Structure 1
Amino acid sequence: MNATPWRRLHSRMIWVDAVQSVVSLMPTGFAVWVVGMEPTLGNMWPVLAIAAFGVLGATADALRWVFTRYRVTEDYVERRTGVFVRRYRSVRRDRIRSVDTEAKLRHRLSGLRVVKIGAGQQSSAGESAFDLDAVHTDDAAALRRELLWGEAPSAPAPAVDAGPAALEPEEKQVLARLRPGWVVYNMFNIWAYLMALGLLWGAYWLGTAVGFDVGGFIEGLVDWEALGWGRSIVVGALVVGAVGAVGLGVNFFTENWNFELARVPGENGTLLRTRQGLFKTREVNRDDTRLRGIQISEPLLWRWMGMADTNVVTTGLDLWSMSQPTTILPRGPIGVARPVAAAVLGVHESPLEVPLARHPRAALRRRMWWATLTAVAVVVLLGWLAANDVVPFAMMWAGVALWPIAVAAAVVAYRALGHAVSGEYLVVRSGLMSRQTTALKRSAVSTVAVRQSLLQRRLGLKTVAAMSAAGWGAYHAPDVPADAAVALASEAAPGLLEPFLVPQTSGARERDMPSRV
């Protein structure tokens, strides 16, 4: 019988939630008693929603504290939780691959941490193996040392709340730190307008709440009638875009403040660790033994800036998580992403910088065919709708105008194609909206598939897919020459296809022999 006692989450979270409830009610009190707003549902629903969200969140946290227990034994880490449906989860300690810490502002102010224990798996809900919210900072430090470095639980913990920086041994290899200039690569995108709409709506509501005539103020800024509709729309778009860009810039610094990418020692090897955040801190550790490659993505519209996103190809991380655990660098210049990728892979010559083999012109023709067929299908659809008086016949010109755009996209997609074998890595590149270059360890390829559609057969093309348990599961080299596809597949997974290949001399002899029925 295991005598290890069960432990609670820290009781300080109850007081934190009580303060959260009071703070969530303050906007309502301010609007009613200070501003003198008439409490009607039409003008009070935003503050009422904030209050309800805060109170319900605090109540849920209180129930979670009452019904959650966890313990660490010699072989397992266990957790019991649930109010109406009791849930029990356990993970063997030798399966644990990461112990990540996260802290929102309220956690940091109260000396608490959220500890996420990863074991190379996700549940059906997409969560980590364990998620303990909230643990005292000292307990989080001791738990992390015990699970990652095998130190005894009685090891001395930090005396002060020094944050995640105090939660690892001193030995580390720093690979990258935040550069303020990266903010330029994160300010200009479609999300700027969505953020601006939220900020401007909040400002409008707050101004209306205190009796400020927001509409009159805007009308008095410029003679809108003199500008006309066209110029007014342009000015409005520029102002909204500027507000959104500033908001994204502020958001970039709050999310990535004190960013650091480093390789630190672990119990079973080394860990690739990122930590970042100003108000909400986050630390993610990735087991180097599970690293299978790296991927650099270049968005189409901002490729001229040299913008790149950098992600690791590894097992045991949830690709659909909003926290993006596979991302190891903030969006920044590709001139930084490539050397950092080489350092992460531990190679002197980065496979992401080797020359890639060009794909044949037949691959371009295939994309041209699809672009043309798509434009024709749109024109036919619009013609049918116009014949049934759903849309005017002039709309058919939109389908005609689509064709040159689709052709241009086909050219861009074709120019993105490329593949190579560099040392122990298979390198493939493709993508239209985001050109993705992936370097995948050939030893991690478990399956190779060679596919050929009817159109590819006529054009002499094939698609080679290298499949792995890491990342997205499959990485494609589309539209390679048919006579080179098998050779590429054989190189992508050394030793996997050899038992099924016919020697070249035998193949040549068979081709020279007359066929018999």
Structure 2
Amino acid sequence: MSEHTSEVVLDGTEETILDQPQAGEAPWSRLHSRMIWVDVVQTIVSLSPAIIVVTVFDADLTWGSMWPALAIAAFGVIGAVADALRWFFTRYRVTDDYVERRTGVFVRQYRSVRRDRIRSVDTEAKLRHRLSGLRVVTIGAGQQSTAGEAALSLDALLKTDAQYLRSVLLHGEAHTQQAAQSAANGEKPPEEVTVFARFKAWWVLYNVFNIWAYAMALGLLWGSFWLVSTFGFDMSAFIGGLLDWDALGWGWTVAIGLASVGVIGVIGLGINYFTTYWNFELARLPGENGTLLRTRHGLFRQREVNRDENRMRGVQISEPVLWRWMGAADTSVITTGLDVWSTDEPTAILPRGPIWVARPVAAAVLGVRPNPLETPLRAHPAAALRRRIWWALLVVSSIVGVLGWFHVNDLVPGWAVWAGLGVAPVALLAALVAYRALGHAVVGRYVVVRSGLLSRATSALDRSSVSTIAVRESLLQRRLGLKTVSAMTAAGWGIYEAPDVAAQEAVAFADAAAPGLLEPFLVASSDEQ
């Protein structure tokens, strides 16, 4: 466990003690009971497909046709029962120093978060929460360890209670009460908000040309196939009757199939973009101990994340290689307390969009000039390209060698060996792309490093946050006169590297990237003595 969160397993005696707060202590509260009614509706809705199939449609009811509807019903019922048990066994309270929660059915757990350690407050509302006036509040305190979960989550609170709790945790009790008093008197105090970016519909173009379009399309088609099969509709026969596939031949059949699946996937990704990022806004607003960086977005599932800017250590812009020709970029903050592995991407501050928008927004978030993400970076020596070519040829040789051994033992045909040689141009091109991605610089208070093949990442890291600096070289790097400089920090990915820097420049760059860390180990040159 980290220093600012705690979790213990309670027996019955300890649980009874916690249920009876002493005089002056904050009482324990339940989650809102409205979620029970939401679960009842969820159960009814999940059972409706199976009921409709049985009572309305005259279909051949077999396990093969009924299992999708039954699976939906089972999933909905199990989820509703789990939510009901969680509501019954969960208690929480907010004291002057801690936010505490007790939960668990078979294993009772107690978790507390110190209020001065809270680093983000995330409010989320799925469609069922919005329709019922509920919100999910997730309080982050840097819990990125083995559990892979937020420090504390309350699912679900009444919307007004969630807003009040978020305001208290982010702005303090006094500010919240003053705002409530002003609202009661009909006054609306001005909100000191600086908006950096808002939703742009045309950014959908950067989010639909994606290899995941085929994955989404296959998922939609598979689900549709089983759903219509439940109602007795033969989709295979329907598709077979659309065109004369025998006359078209297998080439045109494959081409039409890929194009159709691609179009379905693009439409699906487009809908996903609009529903996910509708009403998006990136803004800075005041908090209890400084300023907060807030993102909020969502059509059906609304989400708001508030990040403590005192914990921010920099910004990273990533450019995926297959979409670099479009100028597509993903923008995220380098900060402590947010899980970089989370599928919800709490560190992302912009949807995927144009690089010429991401760079000035990142500079505005950092509040510095010149923009470290627009400064020309120092190129790496040609020896770095030779090193990548060496590795590319090694990979190609290994593939050809394995395929050759398979061919000698009659496991693969001879053309497979030639196909392995066909990998060589792709590998050499990848080596060139990876080399051109390299760059480094020190711009004001930030050290900037850039590298990456599949995703070229440019990271601007505050030099004061670098806790460790490392300069290392492999055997091949030593022969080529190269070194890798690594800046280590408690934020983001933890380590940001400038690979294959010229050996004569590496120590000077490392010293500039982390002022003072290397001074005890440096020896003055003869000219300085």
Place the TM-score, normalised by the shorter chain, in its bin.
over 0.9
Alignment of 1:262-273 (within 5 A): 262-273=283-294
Seen in structure 2, the aligned counterparts of structure 1 residues 189 and 82 have a Cα distance that, compared at 3 Å, is: same
Structure-2 residue corresponding to 1:289: 310
From 91, 96, 120, the equivalent of 1:74 is 96
Structure-1 residue corresponding to 2:362: 341
From 440, 454, 469, the equivalent of 1:419 is 440
Kept after mapping to 2: 8 A contact 1:145/1:168: no
From 346, 352, 363, the equivalent of 2:373 is 352
Measured against aligned partners, the alpha-carbon deviations of 1:115-145 in whole angstroms (never above 9, x if no partner) come to 1111233353211111000001111111112
What is the rounded CA distance, in whole Å, between the counterparts of 2:32 and 2:190 in structure 1?
25
Matched, 1:457 2:478: yes
Amino acid at match of 1:238: A
Amino acid at match of 2:418: W
Measured against aligned partners, the alpha-carbon deviations of 1:348-394 in whole angstroms (never above 9, x if no partner) come to 32100001111111001011111111111111111111122221232
What is the rounded CA distance, in whole Å, between the counterparts of 1:291 and 1:8 in structure 2?
34
Kept after mapping to 2: 8 A contact 1:35/1:209: no
What is the rounded CA distance, in whole Å, between the counterparts of 2:121 and 2:307 in structure 1?
9
Kept after mapping to 1: 8 A contact 2:437/2:450: yes
Amino acid at match of 1:462: K
Structure-2 residue corresponding to 1:328: 349
Amino acid at match of 1:437: T
Measured against aligned partners, the alpha-carbon deviations of 1:326-368 in whole angstroms (never above 9, x if no partner) come to 0000001101101100111011321000011111110010111
Seen in structure 2, the aligned counterparts of structure 1 residues 187 and 220 have a Cα distance that, compared at 3 Å, is: same
Kept after mapping to 2: 8 A contact 1:107/1:113: yes
Alignment: residue pair count? 502
Structure-2 residue corresponding to 1:139: 161
From 313, 316, 340, the equivalent of 2:337 is 316
Kept after mapping to 1: 8 A contact 2:113/2:141: yes
Amino acid at match of 2:484: T
RMSD: 1.9
Alignment of 1:175-254 (within 5 A): 175-254=196-275
Structure-2 residue corresponding to 1:515: none
Measured against aligned partners, the alpha-carbon deviations of 1:377-435 in whole angstroms (never above 9, x if no partner) come to 11111111112222123211122111111111101111111111100110111111111
Matched, 1:395 2:396: no
From 158, 167, 171, the equivalent of 2:192 is 171
Amino acid at match of 2:28: W
- Range moving further from structure 2, 264-273 or 1-10: 1-10
Measured against aligned partners, the alpha-carbon deviations of 1:38-76 in whole angstroms (never above 9, x if no partner) come to 332111111111111110001011001111000111111
SS at match of 2:172: coil
Seen in structure 2, the aligned counterparts of structure 1 residues 123 and 451 have a Cα distance that, compared at 3 Å, is: closer
Amino acid at match of 1:15: W
Kept after mapping to 2: 8 A contact 1:138/1:157: no
With structure 1 as the length reference, what TM-score do the two structures score?
Answer: 0.94
Structure-2 residue corresponding to 1:12: 34
What is the rounded CA distance, in whole Å, between the counterparts of 1:203 and 1:448 in structure 2?
54
Kept after mapping to 1: 8 A contact 2:68/2:227: no
Seen in structure 2, the aligned counterparts of structure 1 residues 408 and 123 have a Cα distance that, compared at 3 Å, is: closer
Give the unaligned 5+ runs of structure 1: 161-166, 510-517
- Range moving further from structure 2, 125-134 or 240-249: 125-134
Measured against aligned partners, the alpha-carbon deviations of 1:426-452 in whole angstroms (never above 9, x if no partner) come to 011111111111111111111111111
Amino acid at match of 2:55: W
Structure-2 residue corresponding to 1:39: 61
CA shift for structure 1 position 92: 1.4
CA shift for structure 1 position 280: 0.4
What is the rounded CA distance, in whole Å, between the counterparts of 1:140 and 1:18 in structure 2?
22
Alignment of 1:123-138 (within 5 A): 123-138=145-160
Alignment of 1:359-398 (within 5 A): 359-398=380-419
- Range moving further from structure 2, 238-247 or 2-11: 2-11
Kept after mapping to 2: 8 A contact 1:450/1:464: yes
Q: Percent identity at matched positions?
A: 67
Measured against aligned partners, the alpha-carbon deviations of 1:126-174 in whole angstroms (never above 9, x if no partner) come to 11111000001111111112111112576676999xxxxxx99722111
- Range moving further from structure 2, 32-41 or 47-56: 32-41
Kept after mapping to 1: 8 A contact 2:26/2:94: yes
Structure-2 residue corresponding to 1:469: 490
Kept after mapping to 1: 8 A contact 2:65/2:229: no
What is the rounded CA distance, in whole Å, between the counterparts of 2:487 and 2:309 in structure 1?
21
Seen in structure 2, the aligned counterparts of structure 1 residues 487 and 156 have a Cα distance that, compared at 3 Å, is: closer
Kept after mapping to 2: 8 A contact 1:141/1:157: no
CA shift for structure 1 position 5: 0.8
Kept after mapping to 1: 8 A contact 2:487/2:497: yes
CA shift for structure 1 position 78: 0.8
With structure 2 as the length reference, what TM-score do the two structures score?
Answer: 0.92
Seen in structure 2, the aligned counterparts of structure 1 residues 129 and 358 have a Cα distance that, compared at 3 Å, is: same
**Which aligned runs of 4 or more in structure 1 are off by greater than 4 angstroms?**
152-160
What is the rounded CA distance, in whole Å, between the counterparts of 2:457 and 2:120 in structure 1?
27
What is the rounded CA distance, in whole Å, between the counterparts of 1:468 and 1:22 in structure 2?
50
Measured against aligned partners, the alpha-carbon deviations of 1:250-287 in whole angstroms (never above 9, x if no partner) come to 00000000000000111000010100000000111111
Matched, 1:95 2:117: yes
From 141, 148, 169, the equivalent of 1:119 is 141
What is the rounded CA distance, in whole Å, between the counterparts of 1:312 and 1:156 in structure 2?
30
Matched, 1:63 2:79: no
